[in-house]
Structure 1
Amino acid sequence: MSFWENFWEIFWWFFFVYAFIAFLWALFAVFGDLFRDHTLSGWWKVVWVLFLVFVPILSVLVYVIARGKGMAERSMERARAHREASDAYIRSVTAPSPTGEIAKAKALLDSGTISAADYERIKRKALA
């Protein structure tokens, strides 16, 4: 066997492996979207699953063509919700602003929990 015969065999093998992995990714994306879609009734989900099981390649293509726009919208909405949750978490665990620290110290001073010297020290530290 020559190098080029082996090269093309390897090339086609990699191509088919890539195509198979891409198909599996698309299939799992369709299944995920199908079960995340709350507007689709249960019977339609059953029909889609049956088609995806028995005629997978054609069903994936039809699903992406027919419901691709909604699939993208649901994906963007999910990403937005995750980003908002992440931002809210980050805001909740970060250090408070200097104004917030001074306001808390003032409330403690007014309630008599800390002295005026402590309040001034906290204020200086917050402003530094």
Structure 2
Amino acid sequence: MHLAYDYPLLGAMWSIMWLFLWILWFFLLFRIIIDIFRDDTMSGWAKTGWLIFVIILPFLGVLVYVLARGKGMGLRELEHTRSQKQAMDEYIRTTAGEGEQSKAEQLAKLSEVRARGDLTDEEFQRAKEHILQ
């Protein structure tokens, strides 16, 4: 009877497969733990119960969680991604808008300083070019 380890290449492939499955298992486990904390519809006790179930009996806990709440995992991930994109877009709009206002405010202050006579026309032009760059 020939075993897989009689053939070195087959033994290496078998080891790589187990390593891949082990990494995949931890990825799924952490993904489920993140999903438990991300779900806003569950109460704190429900989150605690699922977390204990997944940690104490990991294989059974993950299997039951995926069967019971697997469909919602994708929806929650999609909702989270959309909210992150919306927050990033809002941040970009706010930051870009503030930059324009900031330049306008700087030019207004600069013209006030020139009106008081603290700046010459040449200094004003240099400062204005610096602000607009």
Pairwise TM-score range, normalised by the shorter structure: 0.5 to 0.7
Query: What's the CA shift for 1:85?
Result: 7.8
- C-alpha contact 1:98 1:127 (8 A) present in aligned 2: yes
- C-alpha contact 1:102 1:126 (8 A) present in aligned 2: yes
Q: Structure 2, unaligned stretches of length 5 or more?
A: none
2:71 paired with 1:62: no
Distance 1:90 1:126, change over 3 A: closer
Moved more, 48-57 or 99-108: 99-108
Q: TM-score, normalised by structure 1?
A: 0.67
Q: Structure 1, unaligned stretches of length 5 or more?
A: none
Query: Percent same amino acid at aligned positions?
Result: 17
Give, as a single letter, the amino acid of the residue that structure 1 aligns with 2:38: R
Q: Which residue, 8, 26, 29 being the options, matches 2:28?
A: 26
Query: What's the CA shift for 1:33?
Result: 2.1
Q: Which residue, 107, 110, 115 being the options, matches 2:119?
A: 115
Query: What's the CA shift for 1:86?
Result: 6.6
Supply the distance in 2 between the matched residues of 1:60 and 1:9 (Cα, whole angstroms).
34
Paired residue total: 126
Higher relative contact order (CA 8 A, sep 6+): 1
Match of 1:38 in 2: 40
Moved more, 80-89 or 97-106: 80-89
Give, as a single letter, the amino acid of the residue that structure 2 aligns with 1:50: I
Give, as a single letter, the amino acid of the residue that structure 1 aligns with 2:85: R
Query: RMSD of the TM alignment (CA)?
Result: 3.8
